[in-house]
Amino acid sequence: MRLSRTFLPILKETPKEAEIVSHRLMLRAGLIRQEAAGIYAWLPFGLRVLRKIEQIVREEQNRAGAQELLMPTIQPADLWRESGRYDAYGKEMLRIADRHEREMLYGPTNEEMITDIFRASVRSYKDLPMNLYHIQWKFRDEVRPRFGIMRGREFLMKDAYSFDLDKEGARHAYNRMFVAYLRTFARMGLQAIPMRADTGPIGGDMSHEFIILASTGESEVFCDKAILDLPIPGEDTDFDSDLTPVIDAWTTPYAATDEMHDASAYEAVAEDARMSARGIEVGHIFYFGTKYSEPMGAKVAGPDGVEVPVHMGSYGVGVSRLLGAIIEAHHDEAGIKWPASVAPFHVGLINLKPGDAESDAACADLERQLTAAGIEVLVDDVDTRAGAKFATMDLIGLPWQLIVGPRGLKEGVVEIKNRASGERSTVSPQEAVTRLVGELAS
């Protein structure tokens, strides 16, 4: 991809309205643009990152045995009357009347609709366990949207819903998602800590939030540092096996948000292992039993032929919010430092002198070789001075920079820079390709 042909509106000045670093950097690096309070357009680079995050979430949901479908954004109010939440939900729900004055709403979540889809076609315990998820835009009419896409009104969420015959089955479904979440966030370069949580308006009696640590986090969290060293479950995890040992390992060290904080339990943690910090919620999982299946009549026949309401759980990931969370965790003064797994491109190939035949040829050749190896390359072919090029490349935060200019080429070398570490090395073009392929191709 050529920078000269890319819609990447970089802002020179720091936008005043942005209170936190991720919001500032998302605006400055041309990732998003605000269209109304809490409502954003995703510009090409922002969308590329969003899609990569979405794809990681999808792959880990599928790996854990969940099936993807897609529910609409607009829902009929009547469904929510069945669960009793239409009146209970309050002003965060965006209520709409259509041309025939029928009451509708823009879905803030989908427990009712998925329960309706389930009850319409599933009759027997033999079809269980089942976990259905979608990745869809939601709307919550926050009274005061802020922090850019971190607390927006229209946001992209993955929400999964599990259906099981009994509590034991539901517990296993819960554990699967717990493990899937550990893997999901780790793949994006985030250290997410599961914390016992309040269940809030979703209801139910078992719930964990997944929180990443960031100084701009909205909630205070307390934990035992031991949790930071636990290994992430591998790709080869058997999700049909008993996952209790993994869950036990991750829920044994103390970890709680301030809402659930137990000062005496925290004080039982060795003093040098205690950590209190600010955190950002990026995922939330719930078991809520028959809260929706009972009133909505989502029942299956058990092995004995008797119909019982299914046990359900729901499992959310804030897909669009994750962009902000990743930036909060990966940035410096100069800009973003994307982890390779979610970067809009892997390599920024800086042509220091576009128009110089030798530089152009060397860049074209490097681009071709890297692209052939499956590496995504953004070529800065814009005719500006080197300082501006470096500043832009640092700001947009591609993991690797490959710098090509006439002076270096005369000596047969180019420069590689790692954005995260700042480390630079001067190598031959061929060596540069070998190095980058080694680092990036997977």
Q: Which of 130, 301, 308, 373 binds a second copy (CB under 8 A)?
A: 130
Q: Please, are residues 409 and 427 in contact by the beta-carbon 8 Å criterion?
A: no
- What whole-number distance in Å separates Cα of residue 255 and Cα of residue 252? 9
Q: Which of 111, 154, 328, 380 binds a second copy (CB under 8 A)?
A: 154
Nearer to a second copy, 158 or 417 (CB): 158
Nearer to a second copy, 132 or 170 (CB): 132
Question: 266-305 mask for a second copy (x: CB under 8 A)?
Answer: ----------------------------------------
Reading phi first (left if > 0) and then psi (alpha if -120 to 50, else beta), residue 65 is in left
Nearer to a second copy, 70 or 270 (CB): 70
Nearer to a second copy, 90 or 438 (CB): 90
Question: Residue for token digits 């929510």?
Answer: 80
Question: 80-119 mask for a second copy (x: CB under 8 A)?
Answer: -----------xx-x-x-xx--x-x-x------x--xx--
> Any contact of residue 146 with a second copy (CB under 8 A)?
no
> Any contact of residue 72 with a second copy (CB under 8 A)?
yes
Nearer to a second copy, 35 or 242 (CB): 35
> Any contact of residue 143 with a second copy (CB under 8 A)?
yes
- What whole-number distance in Å separates Cα of residue 294 and Cα of residue 115? 10
Backbone angles phi, psi at 213, to 5 degrees: -85, 130
Nearer to a second copy, 66 or 403 (CB): 66
- What whole-number distance in Å separates Cα of residue 427 and Cα of residue 183? 35
Binding residues with a second copy: total (CB under 8 A): 51
What are the structure tokens assigned to 100, written together?
């025939």
Backbone angles phi, psi at 288, to 5 degrees: -130, 20
Nearer to a second copy, 123 or 407 (CB): 123
Q: Which of 80, 86, 139, 288 binds a second copy (CB under 8 A)?
A: 139
The nearest distance, CB 318 to a second copy, in angstroms, is 16
- What whole-number distance in Å separates Cα of residue 84 and Cα of residue 215? 38
- What whole-number distance in Å separates Cα of residue 350 and Cα of residue 388? 11
What are the structure tokens assigned to 248, written together?
């036990």
The nearest distance, CB 265 to a second copy, in angstroms, is 39
Q: Which of 59, 63, 71, 89 binds a second copy (CB under 8 A)?
A: 71
User: Could you please report the per-residue DSSP string of 247-267?
Assistant: HHHHHSS-EEEGGG--HHHHH
Largest CA distance in the chain: 82
All residues at 6 or more sequence positions from 262 whose CB lies less than 8 Å from its CB, including other chains:
256
> Any contact of residue 54 with a second copy (CB under 8 A)?
no
What Å distances lie between residue 171 and 38, 164, 168, 243, 320, CA to CA?
36, 9, 5, 10, 28
> Any contact of residue 263 with a second copy (CB under 8 A)?
no
For helices 429-440 and 357-372, what crossing angle results, to 10°? 30
Residues in 7-46 that interact with a second copy by CB under 8 A: 7, 9, 33, 35-36, 39-44, 46
How far from the centroid of its chain's Cα atoms is residue 403's Cα? 31
Q: Which of 69, 361, 386, 388 binds a second copy (CB under 8 A)?
A: 69
End-to-end CA distance of the chain: 21
The interface region with a second copy, picked from 74-82, 251-259, 288-296, 371-379 by CB under 8 A, is 74-82
- What whole-number distance in Å separates Cα of residue 383 and Cα of residue 85? 58
Residues in 178-217 that interact with a second copy by CB under 8 A: none
Nearer to a second copy, 23 or 419 (CB): 23
Question: Residue for token digits 């029942």?
Answer: 299
Q: Give the binding site for a second copy (CB under 8 A).
A: 5-7, 9, 33, 35-36, 39-44, 46-47, 50, 65, 67-76, 79, 91-92, 94, 96, 98-99, 102, 104, 106, 113, 116-117, 120-122, 130, 132, 137, 139, 141, 143, 153-154
